[in-house]
């Protein structure tokens, strides 16, 4: 099969590679759509490598090249011998993480057994930790890792299930983490104001999840220098702020009556944002550390934040429990929200790539274009 292979920082090439054999409890998915994620961008640029050896050291790309892509939708075109609950030709989205349930372990680790499957002791991830991902013609995954699409949504829209599932997980962690200010608290302990830093796909999904799923009706401010992203944030129910032309901290103080925000979601992955957070949040606020990257800042920027005694939540991935049939609850929930139109992902998809040959150019600079919000590959 053909796949986009990363064999060094910034070095992507379409190559012919073998397809993994289909095990008895696995399915082969013909990829119809795969989203380009910020995590992919960091890996391609050489700023991150999540493929680790047994001692926790990154495996160099020149030792083992990678096939990225973890936001996957496609069609089942081969079934393992023991797969009984899926038909050939079923349209599905893919949970790229292999867990105790995925591998059929009789005794689940403490994380899988308590609804934190993304932290599985034996966790491996297609497209991120070395297993071949979706930037290819096919991907082979455990049958319980695919969730059937029950509607006529297009593949590009279905591929947004994974990023929404990550937001669903983050909000679940937020709700169940003890903090001074909560979304379900009494008036004096409830969250009145939220600041979302970054209006990329994640930030925009947080806005919709807060408004449409959690029914948060307080002040929701979104900061982003990109006018197109700010327009989408406003469309989804937030008040946009341009941090370039205005003093973000001053706007937050003014809009919150001097209180500042009880909840801040860092979805930009920008180091400079952390230096500003102490000016944006109330004492003992909650800060969701969602973005990755954080270039341009050192740990000293956290000094002033620590003095405020915040609750810091480092949520990652689409962790969660499992449905009775073993399928991942976060993905099931996210896909149904998209299918029912509760969360609208279509306006975020600004760039479509119709062949694998176009992927290297997409990583080379398209994501830096002013109109770019989300790219989807449709091989």
Q: Is the pLDDT of residue 9 over 70?
A: yes
Residue 74 near residue 92 (C-beta atoms within 8 A): yes
Residue 205 lies in a domain: yes
Question: Among all chains, which residue has been given the structure tokens 């960091």?
Answer: 42
**223 and 368 fall within a common domain:** no
Q: How much is the pTM?
A: 0.95
Helix axes 227-235, 201-208, angle to 10 degrees: 20
Q: 177: which residues sit within 8 A by CB, 6+ positions away?
A: 286, 311, 313
* Residues 67, 199 within the same domain: no
* 175 & 154 share domain: no
Q: Which of 313, 336, 368 is the last residue of a domain?
A: 313
Q: 151 and 192: one domain?
A: no
- Asked if residue 147 and residue 177 are part of one domain, the reply reads no
> 81: domain CATH number?
3.90.180.10
Task: Let me know how many helices (H) and strands (E) the chain has, helices first.
Answer: 10, 17
Expressed as residue numbers, the domain containing 27 is 2-160+345-377
Q: Do 118 and 180 belong to one domain?
A: no
Q: Are 337 and 343 in contact (CB under 8 A)?
A: yes
Angle, vertex CA 249, rays to CA 246 and CA 250, nearest 5: 65
- Tell me if 36 sits within 8 A of 70, measured CB to CB: no
C-alpha distances in Å from residue 348, one per residue of 41, 82, 229, 277, 375: 17, 38, 9, 26, 9
Are 272 and 368 part of one and the same domain? no
Contact status, residue 265 vs residue 234, Cβ threshold 8 Å: no
Domains held by the chain: number: 2
User: Which band of pLDDT confidence, cut at 50, 70 and 90, is reported for residue 184?
Assistant: confident
Residue 244 has pLDDT above 70, yes or no: yes
Residue 38 shares a structural domain with residue 177: no
The CATH code of the domain that includes 217 is 3.40.50.720
Q: What digits encode the pLDDT tens for the residues 112-152? A: 999 899 899 999 999 999 999 999 999 999 999 999 999 99
Summarize pLDDT for 213-237 with one digit per residue, the tens.
999 999 999 999 999 999 999 999 9
Q: Is residue 173 one of the residues assigned to a domain?
A: yes
Q: Are residues 58 and 17 in the same domain?
A: yes
Pair (15, 147) in one structural domain: yes
The answer, yes or no, to whether residue 179 has pLDDT greater than 90, is no
133 contacts: CB under 8 Å, gap ≥ 6: 34, 66, 67, 68, 69, 70, 72, 96, 126, 127, 139
Quick one: 74 and 59 in the same domain?
yes
């Amino acid at each position: 099969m053909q796949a986009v292979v990363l064999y060094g920082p910034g070095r992507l090439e379409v190559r012919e590679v073998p397809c993994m054999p289909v095990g008895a409890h696995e399915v082969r998915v013909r990829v119809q759509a795969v989203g380009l994620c910020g995590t992919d961008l960091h890996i391609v640029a050489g700023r991150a490598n999540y493929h680790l050896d047994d001692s926790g050291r990154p495996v160099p790309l020149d030792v083992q090249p990678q096939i990225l892509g973890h936001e996957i939708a496609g069609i089942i075109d081969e079934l393992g011998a023991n797969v009984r609950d899926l038909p050939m030709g079923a349209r599905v989205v893919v949970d790229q993480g292999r867990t105790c349930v995925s591998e059929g372990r009789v005794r689940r680790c403490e994380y899988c057994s308590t609804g934190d499957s993304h932290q599985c002791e034996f966790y491996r991830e297609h497209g991120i930790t070395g297993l071949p991902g979706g930037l290819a013609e096919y991907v082979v995954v455990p049958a319980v890792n695919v969730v059937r699409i029950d509607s006529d949504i297009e593949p590009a829209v279905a591929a947004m299930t994974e990023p929404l599932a990550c937001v669903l997980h983050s909000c679940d962690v937020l709700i169940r983490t003890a903090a001074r200010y909560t979304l379900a608290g009494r008036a004096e302990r409830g969250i009145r104001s939220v600041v979302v830093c970054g209006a990329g796909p994640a930030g925009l999904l947080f806005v919709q999840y807060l408004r449409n799923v959690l029914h948060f009706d307080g002040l929701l401010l979104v900061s982003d220098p990109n006018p197109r992203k700010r327009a989408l944030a406003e469309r989804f129910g937030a008040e946009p702020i341009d941090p370039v032309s205005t003093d973000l901290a001053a706007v937050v103080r003014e809009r919150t009556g001097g209180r500042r925000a009880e909840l801040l979601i860092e979805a930009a992955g920008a180091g400079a944002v952390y230096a500003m957070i102490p000016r944006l949040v109330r004492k003992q606020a909650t800060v969701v550390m969602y973005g990755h990257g954080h270039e341009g800042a050192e740990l000293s920027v956290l000094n002033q934040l620590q003095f405020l005694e915040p609750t810091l939540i480092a949520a990652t991935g689409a962790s969660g429990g499992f449905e009775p049939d073993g399928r991942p609850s976060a993905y099931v929930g996210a896909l149904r929200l998209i299918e029912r139109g509760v969360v609208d992902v279509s306006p975020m998809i600004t760039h479509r790539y119709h062949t694998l040959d176009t992927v290297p150019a997409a990583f080379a600079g398209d994501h830096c274009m002013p109109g770019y919000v989300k790219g989807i590959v449709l091989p």
